[in-house]
Copies of this chain bind each other. A is one copy, B any other.
Amino acid sequence: MKSHTNYLWFETKARRDLVNVTDEVEGTVRKSGVQEGLCLVSAMHITAAIWVNDNESGLWQDFWEWLEGLAPFKADYRHHRTGEDNGDAHLKRSLVHHQVVLPVTAGRLDLGPWEQVFYAEFDGQRRKRVVVKVIGE
């Protein structure tokens, strides 16, 4: 069995952002030498998520509006008694889910025709990590 671990670092300029990481994940798979296996992509900070969806800017705006409706930024989360103001970011991560497992087939990410992998940042402007771990052979 082979395994390979890579950490992607992010420091987004905006507080909320989507970053397409498909090429970086694909590069990690190539480097691993794994032909058949699984590739975990997981946000290590609890105010970010991984989202596999369409590379279409209109949809991204729909996604943000929808998230804001279901897990709104607001002042009165109990979590804010700790001095934080990012309660909404914890809930947005819970809604979207913070990770995906991608199949690796014939040495490549085995994605659907429109599947792209996004890092979803809900509380950015500081350095945060995503772990990419490939196992297989």
In the complex, per-residue mask of A80-110: 1 if CB is within 8 Å of any chain B CB, else 0: 1110000100110111111111110100001
**In chain B, what residue has the closest Cβ to A54?**
B46
Give the interface segment out of A8-16, A20-28, A58-66: A58-66
The count of residues in chain A whose C-beta lies closer than 8 Å to any C-beta of chain B is 58
CB pair B45–A58 under 8 Å, yes or no, is: no
For the A-B complex with A3-B137, A97-B97 known, give 18 more contacts whose Cβ atoms are closer than 8 Å: A1-B137, A38-B40, A38-B133, A40-B101, A45-B114, A46-B53, A46-B112, A51-B94, A52-B98, A53-B90, A58-B78, A58-B82, A62-B91, A66-B91, A70-B70, A99-B101, A105-B133, A112-B129
